[in-house]
Amino acid sequence: MRPLRAPLLLALALTLAGGCDSRGATKTPGPKGEKVDKPVGVDAPTTNAGDLPVELVAGGQHACVRRGSGTVECWG
């Protein structure tokens, strides 16, 4: 599984980065359908650096992440 680690992390990073522009804002529909800037992360909770993902693995219909704290979360 180790050879897949770097490509999976890169794919995850690119997916997450694709939703933001260079100012860290996303375009959301305004009252009349026009797109307006909405800051991202203004009310985002802080994360302990030891709890950041350090490994991501994916199977046929699931994915799991191991965090720096040792906890594992799976979904799918």
Residue type, 11: A
Question: Do residues 18 and 32 lie in contact, with contact meaning Cβ atoms separated by under 8 Å?
Answer: no
Return the pLDDT at 72. Answer: 92
More reliable by pLDDT, 6 or 3? 6
pLDDT in tens, 12-68: 776 665 555 555 555 555 566 666 566 555 566 666 777 888 999 998 889 999 988
Question: Which pTM was predicted?
Answer: 0.38
SS3 for 5-66, per residue? HHHHHHHHHHHHHCCCCCCCEEEEECCCCCEEEEECCCCCCCCCHHHCEEEEEECCCCEEEE
Instruction: Please report, for the chain, the start and end positions of each structural domain, with discontinuous segments joined by +.
Output: 50-76
